[in-house]
Amino acid sequence: MKTYKTEQIRNIALIGNAGAGKTTLAEAMLFEGGIINRRGEVTSKNTASDYTDIEHDFENSVFSTLLYTEFKDHKINIIDTPGMKAFAGAVTSSLSVTDTAVCVINTGDGIGAGTESSMRIADKLNKPVIAIANGLDHENANFDKILEEGKARFGGRMTIVQYPVNPGNEFNQVVDVLKMKMYQWGSDGGEPEIIDIPESEKDKADELHNELVEKAAENDEALMELYFDKGTLTEDEMRQGMKLGMKDSTLMPVFCTCAKKDMGIRRLIEFIINIVAAPNEYPMREELNGKDVKMDTDSPASMFVFKTSLEPHIGEVIYFKVMSGKISEGMDLINTSRSNKERLSTLYTVAGKNRTKVSEIVAGDIGATVKLKETKVNHTLSTKDADYKFAPVEFPKPLTTVAIKALSEADEEKVGEGLHRLRDEDPSFIVNFSKELKQLIVQAQSEYHLNVIKWFFDNEYKIEIGYKTPKVPYRETITKAAQSDYRHKKQSGGSGQFGEVHMIIEPYEEDMPAPKHFKIDGKDWQVSLRGTEEHELPWGGKLVFCNCIVGGSIDARFHPAILKGIMEKMEEGPLTGSYARDIRVCIYDGKMHPVDSNEISFKLAGRHAFSTAFKNADPKILEPIYNLDVYTPSERMGDVMSDLQGRRSIIMGMGSDKGYEKISAKVPLKEMSNYTTSLNSLTGGRGWFTFEFDAYDKVPSDVQQELLKAYEEEQAEE
């Protein structure tokens, strides 16, 4: 294969709804570039992209796929992304290493929720976008509707470069208002006939041409002046203006294709070569060691890993972008994220399932290697001296949480291993074992995302797993002061055990005054404070331990044991075994025995006294409350609202944001399970949300009763 210079490289990502035609478009682009010599079909499971078993089973892209095509002395790296919202992680990492998003829209269908979600990611990462109106041969292809919907959702930036003359089954003509020519294809697509715009289309073409010229000129004063002087712009001037408009997200040029019949592909490739700049013309990815990195071949070599995947017969394949210098076969680099050396024994340029060995990959280009020791997604490899470390891809936060379990206990360890392997490949889900809940927790983007994990366990690891709603990390606290004392006494043979502790406990609050006087059940108590220890609890909240002992009734050497006893009970709350928090304990009296008192005795006395006091202090269960921001199309607002009300939520605010209604609410975590699925079905997949832990709050008394009952039953079973 030819070696390319940085200036000859273009990096794009195909984004958009599942079924829009991205994988088919990629196939046509490879075919046009001569990379493959016949076009596969998604339905025949023989495309260059979508080549894995799971994608064949799901009949959908699940991963991002690296591909490339070659055209007129340029190499275009194409990353085909999966369209479903579940795979937002793959869209994010793909856009992070490419310079322009090519957003494919199915004109026989509609914009689609996956398109919107991918576009949100492209916008967040400030990527220029080219829109493709694909599937113009569909019987019901409706170009105008797509344009109208697109403008409503993505703003007025959608600007026609091409429009179809005869959308529908017979589709084969496009008017190009940049070139001011008509393109016409034979039934096999491929190379078009370029002809003059027929009289019947002239007025429309002129009008759209002027719109495009204005849009191209509006981002640059010099161009604007030229336009006023001459009344038009040359093709080159327009390109220059369009480039600027795309960079500023004020212009999203619209092209027309029928990917399935290879119509409009060649023109699209040419446009990409002309309008997408070389990778070194875009801002450099942030470097974390404060180095000034240049994307040129003279700089020290470095590469950034954006994807890994385990592939049959070849092992783990590591996909990377060369950030600086040249990577050559046999080179040793340092993984600066792990500080170990890695040898790049084999380098590939990749067209989906087809890999070609190359001896060198230059700055800006994207390739793959194998047999690295410890290199994972988001790692940087660089020369030792350069010591570059690029900012990691920020993967989307998971939105669905489940507990996962092997159906057979013997497989438990393997489940953990399998999950970690999958997680290495897809950092948009998170795995951890919760010591508190005693459950293995998986957080993913959606239920569909969880189906992918299940598929791997069923088909590759051959381990049966099950998902369950995870337990809620409740907390316990008290709402009034209570007093109790406890004597631990044991006489067994020789030396005995003796410890007696008297305490008052009360709810802890920030900045509360020092303890002095209590009134408990009509009785007055006075204490005098000697010392205070404040303990931040690992599970949130505080335990404040006040020494109010007078007359040395308990030696200071036993205080740590008393604290330990209390802490043990805090860790396993008296109500439901959940962590307790926000309590102030005053130890004000007790008794020792000259011989039998020891640490264990005081620990037990502390523990029991605390437990009794806790139960008398009007204890309450606390639940985690989350701040939720939901975005919904306005016509679904009512349904989304009433669903939220059914989830014990408190609406905090409402507003409009980019054509969406935004609802902010506080919702108990317990009510959030299955929210991704519910919101999807309420909004036809278009709604989305973000949520974040806010605080713990008391559960309503009916919920408390339910939880106490459930805990009792659970205890009885054990």
Ligand X SMILES: Nc1nc2c(ncn2[C@@H]2O[C@H](COP(=O)(O)OP(=O)(O)O)[C@@H](O)[C@H]2O)c(=O)[nH]1
Contact present, 91 and 13 (Cβ < 8 Å): yes
506 interacts with, out of ligand X, Mg ion, none, CB within 5 to 8 A per kind: none
**Which CB sits closer to ligand X, 26 or 567?**
26
List own/partner pairs for 183-190 with CB under 8 A and 24 or more apart.
183/264, 183/267, 185/261, 185/263, 187/261, 188/261, 188/262, 189/28, 189/258, 189/261, 189/262, 189/263, 189/265, 190/32, 190/262, 190/266
Contact present, 108 and 140 (Cβ < 8 Å): yes
Phi, psi of 148 (to 5 degrees): -65, -50
448 three-class SS = helix
The yes or no reply on residue 135 touching ligand X (CB under 6 A) is: yes
**Which CB sits closer to Mg ion, 28 or 465?**
28
As a whole number of angstroms, the distance between CA 446 and CA 400 comes to 5
672 interacts with, out of Mg ion, ligand X, none, CB within 5 to 8 A per kind: none
* Paired residues of 391 in beta bridges: none
Q: What's the min distance (Å) between Cβ of 170 and ligand X?
A: 12
As a whole number of angstroms, the distance between CA 384 and CA 325 comes to 13
**Which CB sits closer to Mg ion, 23 or 100?**
23
The burial of 465, by beta-carbon neighbours within 10 Å (0-12 exposed, 13-18 middle, 19 or more buried), is given as: buried
**Which CB sits closer to Mg ion, 48 or 505?**
48
**Which CB sits closer to ligand X, 20 or 504?**
20
As a whole number of angstroms, the distance between CA 366 and CA 306 comes to 10
**Which CB sits closer to ligand X, 55 or 582?**
55
Tokens for 343, please give them: 């040898």
* Residue 333: closest CA among 303, 306, 297, 364: 303
- Residue 450 CB neighbours (<10 A): 21
Sheet holding 162-164, edge to edge: 162-164, 173-176, 181-184, 193-195
Q: Which stretch binds ligand X (CB under 6 A): 21-29, 91-99, 364-372, 378-386?
A: 21-29
Tokens for 563, please give them: 């604290």
Residue from 8, 23, 69, 601 in contact with ligand X (CB under 6 A)? 23
The separation between CA 706 and the C-alpha centre of its own chain, rounded to angstroms, equals 34
As a whole number of angstroms, the distance between CA 224 and CA 240 comes to 12
Q: At what angle do helices 637-645 and 675-682 cross, to 10 degrees?
A: 150
279 interacts with, out of ligand X, Mg ion, none, CB within 5 to 8 A per kind: none
Tokens for 80, please give them: 């085909």
The yes or no reply on residue 380 touching Mg ion (CB under 5 A) is: no
Tokens for 514, please give them: 């020092």
Contact present, 543 and 566 (Cβ < 8 Å): yes
The yes or no reply on residue 164 touching ligand X (CB under 6 A) is: no
**Which CB sits closer to ligand X, 19 or 418?**
19
374 interacts with, out of Mg ion, ligand X, none, CB within 5 to 8 A per kind: none
As a whole number of angstroms, the distance between CA 503 and CA 585 comes to 7
Q: What's the min distance (Å) between Cβ of 97 and Mg ion?
A: 18
DSSP 472: P
258 interacts with, out of Mg ion, ligand X, none, CB within 5 to 8 A per kind: ligand X
The burial of 179, by beta-carbon neighbours within 10 Å (0-12 exposed, 13-18 middle, 19 or more buried), is given as: middle
Residue from 23, 107, 117, 649 in contact with Mg ion (CB under 5 A)? 23
Taking CB positions, which residue lies at the least distance from ligand X?
A: 21
**Which CB sits closer to ligand X, 23 or 173?**
23
118 interacts with, out of ligand X, Mg ion, none, CB within 5 to 8 A per kind: none
Q: What's the min distance (Å) between Cβ of 64 and ligand X?
A: 11
**Which CB sits closer to ligand X, 24 or 632?**
24
Amino acid letter, 577: G
Residue from 6, 17, 52, 61 in contact with Mg ion (CB under 5 A)? 61
* Residue 227: closest CA among 211, 243, 251, 205: 211
Q: Which stretch binds Mg ion (CB under 5 A): 53-61, 162-170, 218-226, 710-718?
A: 53-61
Residue from 12, 29, 35, 42 in contact with ligand X (CB under 6 A)? 42
The yes or no reply on residue 257 touching Mg ion (CB under 5 A) is: no
Q: Which stretch binds Mg ion (CB under 5 A): 17-25, 106-114, 306-314, 657-665?
A: 17-25
Total chain residues near ligand X (CB under 6 A): 20
Q: What's the min distance (Å) between Cβ of 269 and Mg ion?
A: 19
Q: What's the min distance (Å) between Cβ of 385 and ligand X?
A: 43
The mark string for 46-65 relative to ligand X (x by CB under 6 A, - otherwise) is ---------------x----
Residue from 69, 96, 115, 134 in contact with ligand X (CB under 6 A)? 134
Q: Which stretch binds Mg ion (CB under 5 A): 55-63, 94-102, 442-450, 495-503?
A: 55-63
Amino acid letter, 585: V
**Which CB sits closer to ligand X, 23 or 683?**
23
Q: What's the min distance (Å) between Cβ of 351 and ligand X?
A: 16
The yes or no reply on residue 43 touching ligand X (CB under 6 A) is: yes
Residue from 15, 132, 133, 258 in contact with ligand X (CB under 6 A)? 258
List residues near ligand X by CB under 6 A: 18-24, 41-43, 61, 83, 104, 134-135, 137-138, 258-260
List residues near Mg ion by CB under 5 A: 22-23, 61
